[in-house]
């Protein structure tokens, strides 16, 4: 009897470990096929595509590759669902020079593609007139503007607020309102000088050369925190946060154009 129960449990473990995963918005993740590019190593591939880079032996086993030395340019690899990173968002518009880094800034930068999936710790850089629109699952749209450096952090827990980081430049965001309404933040933007937390709103975050930030609220409410102080921005208001200091009292701004999809 015990052997029968143990066997049943083992079967269930095997089945569930190979079931499709789900993205943050409930869409089923599928296996992906990648082609090894010149200069790519097994370590780099694992950093870019695996939820845990240390599981690279499982990637080799799944592709029936007996030796890591066989990972060479032109080789196709299937990344199974149970090894994949969670998908936080996808690019919906790309213009000009925009680059992507899937290893938290450690590996090489490559051109960002339209429709490219984004995972935790993926980074994006725009230069010149480059900009891109990113759809963040269960959040809304983020437009990364010219000469900016951005990172997707993801959610600390399932269903929790999604966090992104702005290291340089500026971005616009259009966050959908929660249904039913909630006081919990669903989206956080962290910069070197402040954190902006929102529930559902349109707003802009801009960093100057000294990495001080200006946060402007075009619709809804934005909570801006720095150095232990939080100010609430309502529609038509903004605040300035000098790096290392608290946010100034909110002030009125001219009416801004509404954020529209490209």
Q: How is the chain split into domains, by residue range?
A: 32-83, 89-252
**Alpha-carbon span 224 to 182, nearest angstrom:** 18
Look up residue 169 and give its two tokens.
């430049």
Residues contacting 218, CB < 8 A, separation 6+? 201, 202, 203, 204, 235, 236, 256, 258, 259
The closest of 122, 214, 127 to 163, measured between CA atoms, is 122
pLDDT mean over 81-106:
93
Q: Residue 170 belongs to what H/E stretch?
A: strand 170-175
32-83 and 89-252: same fold? no
Contact 155, 24 (CB under 8 A): yes
Residue with tokens 């990344």: 79
Check: CATH 3.30.67.10 for 89-252?
no
pTM of the entire predicted model: 0.80
Look up residue 158 and give its two tokens.
């399932």
pLDDT at position 206 over 60: yes
CA angle 56, 15, 29 (to 5 degrees): 60
pLDDT at position 204 over 50: yes
Quick one: pLDDT at residue 8? 44
The domain made up of 32-83 has a fold known as Membrane-bound Lytic Murein Transglycosylase D; Chain A (3.10.350)
**Alpha-carbon span 42 to 119, nearest angstrom:** 18
pLDDT at position 237 over 60: yes
């Amino acid at each position: 009897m015990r052997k029968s129960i143990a066997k049943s449990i083992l079967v269930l473990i095997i089945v569930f470990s190979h079931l499709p995963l789900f993205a943050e918005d409930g869409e089923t993740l599928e296996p992906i096929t990648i082609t090894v590019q010149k200069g790519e190593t097994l370590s780099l591939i694992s950093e870019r595509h695996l939820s845990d880079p240390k599981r690279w032996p499982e990637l080799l086993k799944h592709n029936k590759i007996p030796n890591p030395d066989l990972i060479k340019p032109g080789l196709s690899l299937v990344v199974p669902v149970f090894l994949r990173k969670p998908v936080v968002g996808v690019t919906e518009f790309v213009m000009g020079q925009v680059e992507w880094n899937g290893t938290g800034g450690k590996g090489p930068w490559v051109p960002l593609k339209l429709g490219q999936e984004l995972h935790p710790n993926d980074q994006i850089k725009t230069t010149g007139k480059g900009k891109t629109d990113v759809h963040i699952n269960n959040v809304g749209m983020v437009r990364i503007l010219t000469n900016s450096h951005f990172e997707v952090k993801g959610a600390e827990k399932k269903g929790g607020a999604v966090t992104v980081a702005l290291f340089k430049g500026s971005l616009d965001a259009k966050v959908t309102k929660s249904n039913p309404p909630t006081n919990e933040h669903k989206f956080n933007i962290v910069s070197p000088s402040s954190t902006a937390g929102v529930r559902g709103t349109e707003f802009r975050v801009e960093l100057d050369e000294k990495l001080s930030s200006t946060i402007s609220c075009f619709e809804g409410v934005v909570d801006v925190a720095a150095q232990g102080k939080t100010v609430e921005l309502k529609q038509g208001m903004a605040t300035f946060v000098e790096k290392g200091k608290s946010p100034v009292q909110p002030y009125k701004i001219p009416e801004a154009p509404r954020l529209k999809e490209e």
